[in-house]
Structure 1
C-alpha cells in the first residue's frame, strides 16, 4: 500500500478533523452550518437534530422545509462514523417545531427530544417530549403526566436508570434551577426540587449548562445568563435521594494550578468516572480547550490539545468505544459565524478492531465506496460492511 500520507498513528485525546462526504447513493448534500442543535450516538452513527443559522439566505439553501422554518432547521441527519458519510433522514410522523437549544438523549434505539424554542427565541418554548425511532426515522409526541417543567429552552438533561432528569433552563426572560424527573416507564413527571425557591441554599438559576448523574447526585457544569457565566471551581450538586442542593468544591489542575474558566454553551460528556468539558464562552471569550474532571477526586486536568477553532453552541456525543464526535457550533465570536465541521477525539484507547479500521481508511481512503461483496472478499468483517450500508430512509 502507498504510504504517501505518512504512517498511521493512533492519537488519544487529540482533536482530529473528519472529512465528511454526502450520501452519494441518494445524492444527498452535506448539512449546512448550524448552532443550537443536538446530537446523539446510536450504533455506528451519530444523529443531529435541529439547529439555527440566521446567516443563510433563501438563495443559499434551496430546500422546501428550510424555507418554511428558517432560520431554524427542522432536519434529522445521520453521520455514519464507519464511512464518514452524511445522510439526511426523512422525518416521518410528528416532528418538534422548537428547533434551537432543545435537549436530546439516546435511550436504546430512540432519541428523546425535550424543550427548545422557536423564533423569536423564548416566544414559543416547549414543554413537550418527542421520541424518534432512529432505525426508521419515525417521530411521535410522547404523552406525559404529572408536574412537568415549564416551557423553556437550554435545559441540562441526562438519563439514568430509566429516568430523564431536567435541570434549569430559560423562557428567554426568566431563568430556572428547578429539578424535574420523568419516569420513562410510567411517563409521570415529578418535581424533585422545592417548589418555593430557597435563596440561601439553591444555586444560581441558569441555562445552557450541562448535567451528569453520578452516585445518586446530579452535578451541574457551568451555564449562565445572557451576560454572565457560572464558575467551574465548584459544582452545584443535587442529591436525588434527599432532594436537596449542595455544592461540591473541585480541585484545580495540580500541574498548572487553575480551574477551567467560567463558561456556558459548552459540551460535557461523561465516560465512566470522568467528565470531559470542551469549548463554550463567557460572553466575551470563546474557548477551544479540553478539560476533564475525575468524579471520585473532583480534581480537574487540563488536557494538552485544543480544537482547531474555539466553539460554542456546538454539540457532542460519545460512541461506545469511546470516541467523542463534535458537530457544528459558532466558531467566530465577532462574526457569529457557524460551522458544519465534524471533529472526533478518542477519549481512551479504543478497541483494536476500530483502530485497525481507522488505520485501513488512512491508507486506503476510497475503500468505503467499494461494493459489499468486494469488501467481504477482501476479509473486511461483516459488522463493518453492514454498518457501511444506510438502513434509515433517506430524504430526497
Structure 2
C-alpha cells in the first residue's frame, strides 16, 4: 500500500517537479531528428533529380521552420535581379514604402531558374532597403498577387518553378502579413469557396475588397486559362463570387498577364495572353496576345467593352501598368514577330510609355518634357544644304490617302525628316499634315506606314504625338530604361518606381536588377537609382557581336540605344 503511494508520488514529481521539462525537451529533440531525416531525404531526391518539385518545396519549408525570430536587416543591399515579384506601395503616417515579396531570376549562364520568398521594404524618401526575415513565411513563389489594406498585405496564388523549368506547382494559398508586427498568417481555404490554384492573375483593392480576375494553371499535362471573377472581403478574409445581373452579358475572354486599374467605382482591364487551338489542327495551340480593353462597374458587376481610341499601344504582352491621378500608365512589354509560318520568331522589347485617360477613355503617348537647358537642334547630316520648302512638302488629301494605303514615296519621307530636323515650326504644312494623319488614321495604320518606310527618330515621335513637335529633341538622349517585360512598378505619391524585369538576348534570358524613378507630375525624364549588374557580360558580348557585324565598334551604351529604339517600330 505504501509502495502504491510512492509510485503516485514519483509520477507526480515527474509531471510537476524539477524535471517537468524533460518531456518537452525529448519531444523537441525528436522533432529536430525528424526534420533532419526529411532534409536528408530531400537532398537525396534532389541529387537524383534537381527538378523534383516535392523535394524542393520540402527543403524550402524546412529552412523556413528553422527561422523562429524576426530580424530586420536595415540598410540592406538591394535585392538581387528578379521578375514577377509583388511590388506594392505601403503608405501610412510617416511611412512611404514599397513592399516586395518573392519573384524569380534566370541565371544568364546556366539558364536555371531560382524562385524567391524573401521580403523587402523600400523607403522611398531615403531610397534605402530593409530585408525582413520573418518566421512562418510563405514558400518561394512568383507571378502571385498582393494588395495592401489597413497596414495589412494580402497575398494569393502564384507558382513555383523547378530549376530547369520542367515542373511547376501552382498555389491556391491566401496569406496575410501584418506590417505592424511583420507576422505572417496562413488563412485556410475551403473547397470551392475560393479561387482555384493559379498564377498570372490580377488583383486590385476597392472599398475594403480585393477583386481578382483571370490567371492560368499548368500541371504539365494541360494548361487552363481563366476569366472568372472573385471578391475577397478583406476584414474577414472570405472569398465570394459576385452576384451577376440576370441575362447574358459580354465578358472578357480567359487570359493571364492582363492589367487592372481602378478609378472610382470602375475597374479597367487591358490586354493579357492566352493560348487558343489551331484552326485546322485542334491539338496544336498558338499564343494569343490580347489588346482589348474592358470596364467593370464594381457596384453592379457588369462588363462593357471599351472602344479603342487614340494612340493605343500595339499588340504586346507582359507590360507593366500603374495608375496616377485619373490615368493609367503602361510601360514596356514585348511584341513577337513570326515569319515562315511561325518557324522563325523574333521579339521586340519595348521601353515606351503610354497613358490612358479614364474620363476621356482615350490613349495618348506619354510625353517627356525637355530638360531645363535646351540645345539648338541641327539637321541630319547630308540634308542641311537642300532642305525642301514648305510648299513642296504639303500633304494634300490625296497624299494622305496614299499614306493610308501605304504608298507614300520615299522622297517625300526624306523631305519630312529633313524639314522636321531643320525647321520645327508648328505652323508648317508638315506639322499640320502629320496632325491630320494622326487624327484620321490612328493606331495600326500609322504603325503600318512607318514600319513600311522605316520612319525613325523624330518622325516616329511626331506621328505618335504631334505635341512633341517643336520641343527640344535632346529629350531623346535622356537616360531611359532598357526595353523589358514584367518589370516591377509601383507609385508612391507622384513618383513611379521601377525595379528589374527580364529581356532576351538571342537565346538567353537576362533578369535585370536596375532601379529607376519617374516624377509623374513633372514628366521630366527617368532617373537611374541603381545601375544594372545582372547579365552585363551578356550585354557586352551582344554589343561586340553587333559591332563586328556592322564593321565598327560599340559599347554598352550604344547597345542600349539600339535596343531602346526598337520600341519606335511598334
Question: Highest relative contact order (Cα 8 Å, sep 6+), 1 or 2?
Answer: 1
Could you tell me how far apart the structure 1 residues matched to 2:229 and 2:335 are? 24
TM-score (norm 2): 0.50
Instruction: State yes or no: 1:348 paired with 2:521.
Output: yes
Could you tell me how far apart the structure 2 residues matched to 1:27 and 1:190 are? 41
Contact 1:98 1:115 in 2 (8 A): no
Correspondence 1:227-266 to 2 at 5 A: 227-231=287-291, 234-252=292-310, 258-266=311-319
Q: Aligned match of 2:141 in 99, 112, 116? A: 99
Deviation readout 1:199-252 (Å, 9 max, x if unpaired): x83222110111122343321121112623211xx4122333333332011311
Runs (5+) with no aligned partner, structure 2:
1-72, 276-286, 337-346, 369-478, 530-570
Correspondence 1:282-301 to 2 at 5 A: 282-283=335-336, 284-301=347-364
User: Who is 1:169 aligned against?
Assistant: 215
| CA drift at 1:344 | 0.8
Instruction: State yes or no: 1:82 paired with 2:125.
Output: yes
| CA drift at 1:110 | 2.2
Instruction: State yes or no: 1:132 paired with 2:177.
Output: yes
User: Who is 1:269 aligned against?
Assistant: 322
Q: Residue 56 and residue 85 in structure 1: after superposition, are their counterparts in 2 closer, same or farther (change >3 A)?
A: farther
Structure 1 or 2: more helix by fraction: 2
- Structure number with greater Rg is 2
Deviation readout 1:330-351 (Å, 9 max, x if unpaired): 033532101111111111159x
TM-score (norm 1): 0.70
Could you tell me how far apart the structure 1 residues matched to 2:139 and 2:505 are? 27
Matched position secondary structure for 1:264 = coil
User: Who is 2:488 aligned against?
Assistant: 315
User: Who is 1:221 aligned against?
Assistant: 270
| CA drift at 1:138 | 1.9
Instruction: State yes or no: 1:142 paired with 2:187.
Output: yes
User: Who is 1:18 aligned against?
Assistant: none
Q: Aligned match of 2:97 in 41, 45, 49? A: 45
Runs (5+) with no aligned partner, structure 1:
1-24, 59-68, 253-257, 351-357, 362-396
| CA drift at 1:293 | 0.9
| CA drift at 1:27 | 7.4
| CA drift at 1:281 | 1.9
Could you tell me how far apart the structure 1 residues matched to 2:205 and 2:306 are? 21
| CA drift at 1:57 | 8.3
Could you tell me how far apart the structure 2 residues matched to 1:268 and 1:209 are? 9
Q: Residue 307 and residue 157 in structure 1: after superposition, are their counterparts in 2 closer, same or farther (change >3 A)?
A: farther
Q: Residue 218 and residue 203 in structure 1: after superposition, are their counterparts in 2 closer, same or farther (change >3 A)?
A: same
Contact 1:111 1:133 in 2 (8 A): yes
